Amino acid sequence: MPRPPKDFQDGYQLHEILVASLASKDDDAEPSATLTQVSIALPADEGIRQLVLARNQAARHTVMRINDESEASSAGPAIGGLLTSPKSAASPPARSALKLDPEAERALLLSDYEATMEVANGIGGDAQVQIMDWAEPLKLIDSRDTRTPDKAMRERDDAIYKQLRELGAFRQVAGESEIMQALERVTALRPQQPQFAQVIDFIVDRMRLALDLGQPLLVPPILLVGSPGGGKTHFSFELAKALGRSVHRHSFDAGYTGCSLIGSDRHWSNTSTGLVFDAVCLSPRADPLILLDEIDKGVNSSERSKTLDPLHSLLEPLSARSVKDISSGITFDASHICWVATANDLERIPQPIRSRFLVFVVQPPTPAQAIDLARAVVDSFHARNPALDPPERRVPVCIAHLTPRSQLQVLEQAMARAVANGRRQILVRDLPASCQPEDECAGKSQALLH
């Protein structure tokens, strides 16, 4: 490339700009889109650099949209991108989507990765992490004929590839401002979930450590052990909400296998990607909360099941950085996941798995704590049913002796009774007799006698 004039070197620099162009082999074929790189000398300004990156990104997305959807009629100047058309085509006939060209896709992935790297290094790089090698998605389309002869499988691989291409190699994690906001919400959980105070305090300490070090929040795997119906699952969902993270529940009492976590073998006709791959690679964030509900039921009473086997590597920080989904073949970083497990019987969990968790034994709440917890359950129930008026103030006290699970069941019954009686508010008299004060029950008995 010729050396730029001397005056370009003073206050100017060369920028590589991507230009999207339309081309077709003959008049009957719909045009396809390609990218061309040109060098332009522009002022050496950070704003200019960011503008070029944004326009290049738009140009790449324009090419992907045209080639994926094969809609030449919509081809035209793209907002924020560069698009030239050597000729206009008036409503060409529809055709099937273009096959993915591995070499063209390789160039596209690399270009997108380099642009994202520049942005990550320039602005707020601490809020996103790289979860896979930039070329990793190509495994889904390279040598597809030898990889699988099944048409449905190829279509599935193409769909997953396009999702990964769109999301790129980086994912968002909680940065400083997000952690500070979440810190207030998690701290506010303490009076609402008093029996989980130790867990909350531990997570708050980890959040403050992350802020002090200027690093993403990493929470070691947590295991909550307590009696059935004690609110462990409810707390886990509330914790995810406070952290601002999506929650993915894997219930071990539902007959799931280890394949559910890391994908099933591609030789199976119903092969599918695993929950961990879906939660991290097919979402914009690398730090979801995965709930391993009733993990003690993942071990068969007669022989140890392989259901828990994937957790040996998933729960280890070092090996979790390189996890392979069996169905897609993609290797990715799962080390930013927040793992929370629940169990009723700690002894049923194999020691190698148990040792990977920080174990918190959840004790039954005191009477005062039980009332606070009941208020939290009632508030949560009302939030999910906003068409109703807030329940009568005495309702939480009347159901405080029940487990959170039973409280929700009672509230569901009471809601049905209130609606049946033409009311939008749950009253104490809508609760079962076992939950009503003696004066309420006596009043009902007197009413029945007259």
Query: Using one digit for the tens of pLDDT, what is the confidence trace for 134-151?
Result: 999 999 998 554 455 578
Same domain, 354 and 374: no
Final residue belonging to a domain, choices 361, 389, 415: 361
Weakest mean pLDDT among 60-64, 140-144, 258-262, 272-276: 60-64
Q: How many residues does the chain have?
A: 450
**Residue 436 in domain:** yes
Specify the higher pLDDT residue, 65 or 316.
Answer: 316
Of all helices (H) and strands (E), which one includes residue 40? strand 32-43
Specify the higher pLDDT residue, 186 or 21.
Answer: 186
Same domain, 383 and 344: no
Same domain, 351 and 233: yes
CA nearest 263: which of 280, 247, 242, 246? Answer: 280
Residue with tokens 């699952």: 233
**Residue 133 in domain:** no
What is the tally of structural domains in the chain? 3
Same domain, 195 and 288: yes
Same domain, 345 and 200: yes
For 20, phi then psi, to 5°, come to -90, 130
Neighbours of 4 (CB within 10 A): 13
What's the gap between Cα 122 and its chain centre?
A: 25
Alpha-carbon distances of 430 from 296, 333, 377, 446, rounded to whole Å: 37, 51, 17, 17
The pLDDT of residue 51: 66
Cβ proximity of 189 and 241 under 8 Å: no
The pLDDT of residue 422: 94
Using one digit for the tens of pLDDT, what is the confidence trace for 308-335? 899 999 999 999 999 999 999 999 999 9
Range 388-397 average pLDDT: 94
The pLDDT of residue 24: 53
The pLDDT confidence band at residue 2, using thresholds 50, 70 and 90, is very low
Beta bridge partners of 23: 32
Instruction: Evaluate if residue 429 carries a pLDDT over 70.
Output: yes
The pLDDT of residue 445: 39
pTM of the model: 0.70
Same domain, 341 and 312: yes
Characterise 218 by phi-psi region: left (phi > 0), alpha (psi -120 to 50), beta (else): beta
Same domain, 324 and 374: no
Distance CA 143, CA 404 (A): 53
Specify the higher pLDDT residue, 345 or 305.
Answer: 345
Same domain, 31 and 54: yes
Residue 40's Cβ-count burial label (10 Å; 0-12, 13-18, 19+) is: exposed
Cβ proximity of 154 and 328 under 8 Å: no
Alpha-carbon distances of 299 from 249, 252, 350, rounded to whole Å: 18, 9, 8
Of all helices (H) and strands (E), which one includes residue 170? strand 170-172
Alpha helical stretches, state H, 1-138:
6-9, 46-69, 102-122
3-class SS letters over 325-390: CCCCCCEECCCCCEEEEEECCHHHCCHHHHCCCEEEECCCCCHHHHHHHHHHHHHHHHHHCCCCCC
Same domain, 214 and 317: yes
**Residue 3 in domain:** yes
The pLDDT of residue 119: 64
Final residue belonging to a domain, choices 65, 87, 109: 87
Most confident of 14-28, 62-76, 245-259: 245-259
Characterise 231 by phi-psi region: left (phi > 0), alpha (psi -120 to 50), beta (else): left
Q: Residue 200 is part of which domain span? A: 176-361
**Residue 167 in domain:** no
Same domain, 343 and 219: yes
CA nearest 177: which of 128, 122, 247, 127? Answer: 127
Same domain, 308 and 382: no
DSSP conformation class of 26? S
Distance CA 50, CA 223 (A): 45
**Residue 106 in domain:** no
DSSP conformation class of 46? H
User: At 206, which CATH number?
Assistant: 3.40.50.300
**Residue 125 in domain:** no
Give the gyration radius of the chain's Cα atoms: 28
Amino acid at 53: L
Same domain, 356 and 378: no
Range 141-163 average pLDDT: 77
The pLDDT of residue 58: 67
Q: Can you read off the two tokens belonging to residue 174? A: 């909680």
Distance CA 195, CA 398 (A): 19
Q: What is the number of alpha carbons within 13 Å of residue 166 lying toward its C-beta?
A: 13
What crossing angle do the helices spanning 232-243 and 367-384 adopt, rounded to 10°?
60
Distance CA 232, CA 355 (A): 20
DSSP conformation class of 400? T
**Residue 11 in domain:** yes
The pLDDT confidence band at residue 104, using thresholds 50, 70 and 90, is confident
Measured on CA atoms in the order 361, 367, 369, 370, is the torsion positive or negative? positive
Specify the higher pLDDT residue, 125 or 363.
Answer: 363
The pLDDT of residue 67: 65
**Residue 92 in domain:** no
Final residue belonging to a domain, choices 342, 361, 380: 361
